[in-house]
């Protein structure tokens, strides 16, 4: 545990030691690096903003050194800006937890990261570097995490179709390792890809080669960047979803506010949400699926509309 706050270090120690962990502590990255090289740990949790050597520099050095590059790394910080999260993931961090944090959540995330790293399978980086994928690849995300699966196909420069069956059915299309499109539940492109990445369990099969029909290329740019944006998107989305009604609840525009909508300053996304809900209502799930923007943007707009009294949850009786 690396943090310049003695209090935070003690909180972490008090959380992990009763769960059976041995906890080593350091006040900055330089102090931690010396201990890590002497006795590599199973997991590193580090703050970002620290004197002498910050968390960015520590993570970079850990990933650069062959003896430590595979140690799971979690950033712990007050930084909530998405670009900073993406930077952490680009540097090789496995997760990102913001202060103030729940001790139970941090412990659960740490155990999840350790569980992934302890599975008897090589990492996506090692597989990509040492061997070609079989002609056909199939399995379950219980054996290989969704994130590793997508990176594996990307790093091997594969072209083909990844078919998945989880919360629904889906397809992700690759060309020379780049994800060019994704489809699920009538969704396409980035919105569909991020929705698929949120699935906790799915069966998959990769069919190499060009698909039978032409595929519209709705995604561009480096696949690693797209995936990191997706993971940052999911982190923000989880927090937001917990504060909003469940997907099955119906929502509508209050009749008392309908007449003033034209005069209000609203974003295009907000107007699409209000149009979809209307006065008769629509389920939150239908609204999120209908509006083409990414789920995070739609949920954020719904939250703002509810706060302004322009969108309300219908009573169960009225919904029926």
Do residues 136 and 152 both lie within one domain? yes
Q: What is the pTM of this model?
A: 0.56
Does the bond joining 310 to the residue before it have cis omega, within 30 degrees of 0? no
Give the per-residue pLDDT at 185: 87
Give the per-residue pLDDT at 105: 81
| Distance (Å, whole) CA 171 – CA 260 | 42
pLDDT digits (tens, 9 = 90+) for 233-288: 887 888 888 889 999 999 999 999 999 999 999 999 999 999 999 999 999 999 99
Q: H/E element holding 234?
A: helix 223-241
Record the tokens describing residue 194, joined without a space. 């991020």
Which is more confident, 166 or 227? 166
Residue 1 placed within a domain: no
Q: Residues 248, 283: contact at Cβ < 8 Å?
A: yes
In the predicted model, is pLDDT for residue 91 greater than 70? no
Which is more confident, 205 or 98? 205
Residue 191 placed within a domain: yes
The number of beta carbons lying within 10 Å of the beta carbon of residue 103 is 12
In the predicted model, is pLDDT for residue 25 greater than 60? yes
Do residues 237 and 206 both lie within one domain? yes
Give the per-residue pLDDT at 119: 45
Record the tokens describing residue 209, joined without a space. 């080669």
pLDDT digits (tens, 9 = 90+) for 123-137: 434 433 334 454 568
Q: What percent of the chain has pLDDT over 90?
A: 46
Cβ neighbors of 25 (< 8 A, separation 6 or more) are 1, 2, 9, 12, 13
Do residues 34 and 94 both lie within one domain? yes
3-state secondary structure of 205: strand
Residue 76 placed within a domain: yes
What average pLDDT does range 21-43 have in this prediction?
93
**Which among 267, 257, 260 has a CA at the least distance from the CA of 311?**
257
Boundaries of domain holding 150: 124-241
What average pLDDT does range 73-92 have in this prediction?
62
| Distance (Å, whole) CA 71 – CA 257 | 55
Record the tokens describing residue 19, joined without a space. 């769960």
Residue 102 placed within a domain: yes
Do residues 70 and 104 both lie within one domain? yes
| Distance (Å, whole) CA 163 – CA 156 | 18
**Which among 282, 272, 273, 276 has a CA at the least distance from the CA of 251?**
282
Do residues 93 and 162 both lie within one domain? no
DSSP state for residue 167 in the 8-state scheme: S
What is the tally of structural domains in the chain? 3
In the predicted model, is pLDDT for residue 163 greater than 90? yes
The domain boundary, picked from 241, 259, 293, lies at 241
What average pLDDT does range 65-93 have in this prediction?
70
Do residues 179 and 143 both lie within one domain? yes
The domain boundary, picked from 54, 84, 118, lies at 118
Do residues 33 and 108 both lie within one domain? yes
Residue 25 placed within a domain: yes
The domain boundary, picked from 85, 118, 151, lies at 118
Confidence of residue 318 (pLDDT cuts 50, 70, 90): low
Q: Range with the lowest mean pLDDT among 33-42, 91-100, 179-188, 213-222?
A: 91-100
Residue 90 placed within a domain: yes
Give the per-residue pLDDT at 117: 67
As a whole number, the mean pLDDT across the chain is 84
Confidence of residue 222 (pLDDT cuts 50, 70, 90): confident
Number of helices and strands in the chain (H, E): 13, 12
Give the per-residue pLDDT at 77: 74
For 222, half-sphere exposure in the C-beta direction (CA atoms, 13 angstrom radius) is 6
Residue 58 placed within a domain: yes
Give the per-residue pLDDT at 81: 47
What average pLDDT does range 120-149 have in this prediction?
60
Q: What percent of the chain has pLDDT over 70?
A: 88
Do residues 212 and 173 both lie within one domain? yes
In the predicted model, is pLDDT for residue 120 greater than 60? no
Do residues 74 and 163 both lie within one domain? no
Do residues 221 and 290 both lie within one domain? no
Do residues 135 and 227 both lie within one domain? yes
Cβ neighbors of 285 (< 8 A, separation 6 or more) are 247, 248
Residue 151 placed within a domain: yes
What average pLDDT does range 44-72 have in this prediction?
88
CATH assignment of the domain containing 47: 3.40.50.2300
**Which among 171, 173, 170, 155 has a CA at the least distance from the CA of 210?**
173
Do residues 173 and 195 both lie within one domain? yes
The alpha carbon torsion through 106, 109, 114, 120 (nearest 10 deg) reads 170
In the predicted model, is pLDDT for residue 89 greater than 60? no
């Amino acid at each position: 545990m690396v943090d310049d706050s003695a209090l935070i270090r003690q909180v972490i120690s008090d959380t992990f030691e009763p769960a059976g962990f041995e906890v080593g502590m350091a006040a900055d990255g330089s102090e931690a690096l010396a201990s890590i090289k002497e006795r590599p740990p199973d997991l590193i949790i580090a703050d970002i903003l620290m004197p002498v050597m910050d968390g960015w520099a520590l993570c970079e050095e850990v990933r650069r050194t062959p003896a430590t590059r595979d140690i799971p790394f979690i950033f712990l910080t007050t930084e909530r800006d998405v670009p900073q999260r993406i930077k952490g993931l680009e540097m090789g961090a496995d997760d990102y937890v913001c202060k103030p944090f729940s001790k139970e959540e941090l412990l659960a995330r740490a155990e999840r990261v350790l569980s992934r790293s302890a599975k008897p399978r090589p990492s996506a980086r090692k597989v990509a570097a040492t061997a070609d994928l079989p002609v056909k690849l199939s399995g379950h995300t219980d054996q290989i995490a969704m994130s590793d699966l997508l990176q594996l196909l990307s790093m091997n420069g594969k072209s083909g179709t990844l078919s998945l069956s989880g919360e629904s059915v889906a397809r992700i299309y690759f060309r020379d390792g780049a994800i060019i499109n994704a489809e699920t539940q009538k969704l396409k492109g980035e919105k569909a890809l991020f929705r698929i990445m949120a699935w906790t369990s799915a069966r998959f099969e990769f069919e190499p080669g060009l698909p039978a029909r032409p595929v519209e290329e709705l995604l561009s740019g480096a696949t690693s960047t797209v995936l990191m944006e997706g993971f940052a998107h999911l982190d923000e989305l989880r927090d937001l979803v917990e504060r909003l009604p469940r997907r099955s609840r119906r929502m509508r525009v209050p009749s008392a506010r309908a007449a003033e909508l034209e005069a209000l300053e609203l974003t295009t996304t907000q107007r699409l949400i209000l149009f979809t809900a209307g006065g008769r209502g629509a389920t939150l799930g239908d609204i999120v699926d209908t509006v083409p923007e990414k789920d995070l943007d739609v949920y954020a707009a719904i939250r703002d509309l509810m706060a302004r009294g322009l969108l309300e949850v219908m009573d169960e009786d009225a919904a029926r």
